């Protein structure tokens, strides 16, 4: 057995989001998820929407007690734009939302849990999507900055770690390329415009944060999925380079390196997909800086050079590569046979260390999906046995420990997620939580992973033969 001890002060906890946990009680506005579910419930697994979910709006005192029981010293969630703000044009807040978020934050702080607060987790207010097209509009970037400033002014004395966006590329992919987020458009040029405007919104929010001179830090959370080749051929290596350019460097370079990749701009120009920008906006984005980076990782990306003609009538990154399934890979039978590759954690850390100034970062999401049937019912001890999840988490943490020993500047790990929560169009199809959510009763039931994690967090390390 080997002992893996982590640096002093390391963050241990979980990540979640407002729209996936709070429910809609007393929200002054709907988000695009509230309205899309109301309009097309058939798009959602078992037609379960965001109305109640974990009911964190009412259950937060009980839930924070469970966080403490699970050993958390930190927790990331998000403030919903559609809950906090009464008037989107002015940024004026909703009184009940201010009460709720203050109480929720206080509950965490009083229990020794550091809140890390995100401002956007895929949840555009419905009114702004319908009136302006959401982040298709530069005006909405100004409204986001007003929302951010309101949040900073209200809660800045309590929150030490702010995050502008969680996985900002996902609304681009889901809403404008691959049809799994509203507004379900397929338009490469519009996708590029939305991506640019999200970065602009981020930069404007950071500017508001700096102006207030808060005694806290601000960052962004990116899903940095490594691209691995089928083989060592020059063609496959080029395919992986393209995938990395589109899915990682497109946001990572402007927000951390302060430059847009020249090659990406050239490719977008070839396909008539360059966004409309101003010099001032580009300079605002590249002149902005974050204090830390959050990294989400679940599965690797495998690619190969294209072997068939590109068949879509609009541009996507797959114009330059095809996805590939590794015949020798390990796969999670409980999540669409997605590949399991703990080595990717080390590779991500090395990339940040070697190519991005070794910026301070934390593993903001890592999760092992299981379906409820595979987790099974509680045993005689009342615990749901998800040992499969524990074993894989240990493998990933071994790689993170190795990366830290080799100089990675990582300061924490947040597992996805605290309580089984609602996962967009997949609803509750996949379960990730330390605690099971009973959809009929709202009861929280402990899983073995929670007991393991509490010991890990309390001792700041673990012993394993992996």
Domains of the chain, residue spans: 2-464
Of 75-89, 110-124, 263-277, 336-350, least confident by mean pLDDT is: 336-350
Q: Residue 286: is its pLDDT beyond 80?
A: yes
- Determine how many CB atoms are found less than 10 A away from the CB of residue 247: 20
Q: What is the pLDDT of residues 422-460, one digit of tens each?
A: 999 999 999 999 999 999 999 999 999 999 999 999 999
> Which residue is associated with the tokens 């969680």?
166
CA 409 from centroid of its chain's CA atoms: 20
2-464 classified as CATH 3.20.20.80: yes
Residue range 375-387: average pLDDT?
A: 94
Query: Cα torsion at 224, 388, 334, 317 (round to 10°)?
Result: 10
Q: Residue 110: CB partners within 8 Å, gap ≥ 6? A: none
Give residues with Cβ within 8 angstroms of 402, minimum separation 6: 346
Catalytic annotation on 377?
Answer: no
Say which residue the tokens 């190969």 belong to.
304
Rounded average pLDDT over 292-318: 97
Average pLDDT, the chain: 97
Q: Give the side-chain half-sphere CA count within 13 A for 404.
A: 20
Which H/E stretch holds residue 85?
A: strand 85-87
pLDDT number for residue 149: 99
Q: Which of 126, 167, 375, 394 is catalytic?
A: 167
pLDDT in tens, 23-32: 999 999 999 9
Out of 12-21, 104-113, 326-335, pick the least confident: 326-335
Q: Which tens digit of pLDDT belongs to each residue from 150-162?
A: 999 999 999 999 9
Is residue 335 predicted with pLDDT exceeding 80? no
> In this predicted model, which residue has the larger pLDDT, 380 or 105?
105
Instruction: Find out whether 95 and 35 touch, Cβ atoms under 8 Å.
Output: no
* DSSP annotation string for 298-335: S--EEEE---S----SS--GGGG-EE---TT-EEETTT
Give the per-residue pLDDT at 151.
Answer: 99
The band of 115, judged by pLDDT with boundaries at 50, 70 and 90, is very high
Set 126, 208, 318, 365: catalytic member? 365
Q: Does the structure show a pLDDT above 80 at 466?
A: no
Q: What is the pLDDT of residue 333?
A: 86
Strands (E), 97-180: 114-118, 161-166
Q: Is 167 a catalytic residue?
A: yes
Task: Give the pLDDT band of residue 407 (cuts 50, 70, 90).
Answer: very high
Query: What's the pLDDT score for residue 417?
Result: 95
pLDDT band at 163 (very low <50, low <70, confident <90, very high): very high
**Dist. CA 233–CA 115, nearest whole Å:** 46
């Amino acid at each position: 057995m080997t002992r893996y001890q982590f640096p002093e002060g390391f963050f241990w906890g979980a990540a979640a989001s407002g729209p996936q946990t709070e429910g809609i009680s007393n929200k002054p506005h709907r988000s695009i998820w509230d309205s899309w579910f109301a309009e097309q419930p058939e798009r959602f697994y078992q037609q379960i929407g965001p109305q109640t979910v974990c009911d964190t709006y009412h259950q937060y005192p009980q839930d924070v007690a469970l966080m403490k029981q699970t050993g958390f010293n930190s927790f990331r969630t998000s403030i919903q734009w559609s809950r906090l703000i009464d008037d989107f044009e002015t940024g004026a807040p909703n009184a009940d939302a201010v009460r709720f978020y203050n109480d929720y934050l206080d509950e965490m702080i009083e229990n020794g849990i550091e809140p890390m607060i995100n401002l956007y987790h895929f949840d555009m207010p419905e009114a702004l999507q319908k009136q302006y097209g959401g982040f298709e509009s530069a005006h909405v970037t100004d409204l986001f900055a007003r929302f951010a400033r309101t949040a900073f002014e209200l809660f800045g004395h309590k929150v030490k770690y702010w995050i502008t966006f969680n996985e900002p590329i996902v609304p681009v992919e889901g809403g404008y390329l691959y049809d799994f987020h509203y507004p379900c458009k397929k338009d490469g040029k519009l996708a590029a415009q939305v991506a640019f405007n999200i970065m602009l919104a981020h930069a404007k929010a950071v500017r508001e944060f700096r102006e207030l001179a808060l005694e806290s830090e601000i960052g962004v959370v990116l899903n940095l999925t490594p691209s691995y080749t089928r083989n060592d051929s020059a063609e496959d290596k080029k395919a992986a380079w393209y995938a990395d350019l589109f899915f990682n460097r497109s946001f990572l370079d402007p927000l951390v390196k302060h430059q847009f990749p020249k090659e990406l701009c050239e490719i977008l120009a070839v396909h008539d997909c360059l966004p409309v920008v101003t010099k001032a906006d580009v300079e605002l984005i590249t002149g902005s800086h974050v204090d830390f980076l959050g990294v989400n990782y679940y599965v690797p990306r495998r690619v190969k050079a294209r072997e068939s003609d590109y068949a879509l009538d609009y541009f996507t990154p797959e114009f330059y590569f095809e996805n590939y399934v590794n015949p020798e890979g390990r796969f999670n039978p409980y999540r669409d046979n997605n590949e399991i590759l703990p080595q990717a954690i080390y590779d991500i850390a090395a990339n940040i260390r070697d190519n991005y100034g070794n910026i301070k970062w934390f593993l903001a999401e890592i999760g092992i999906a299981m379906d409820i049937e595979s987790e099974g019912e509680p045993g005689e001890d009342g615990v749901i046995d998800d040992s499969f999840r524990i074993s894989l988490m240990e493998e990933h943490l071994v790689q993170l420990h190795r990366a830290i020993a080799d100089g990675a500047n990582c300061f924490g790990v947040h597992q996805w997620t605290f309580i089984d929560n609602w996962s967009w169009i997949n609803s509750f199809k996949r379960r990730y939580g330390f605690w099971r959510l009973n959809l009929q009763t709202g009861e929280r039931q402990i899983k073995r992973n929670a007991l393991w994690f509490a010991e890990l967090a309390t001792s700041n390390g673990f012993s394993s033969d992996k």
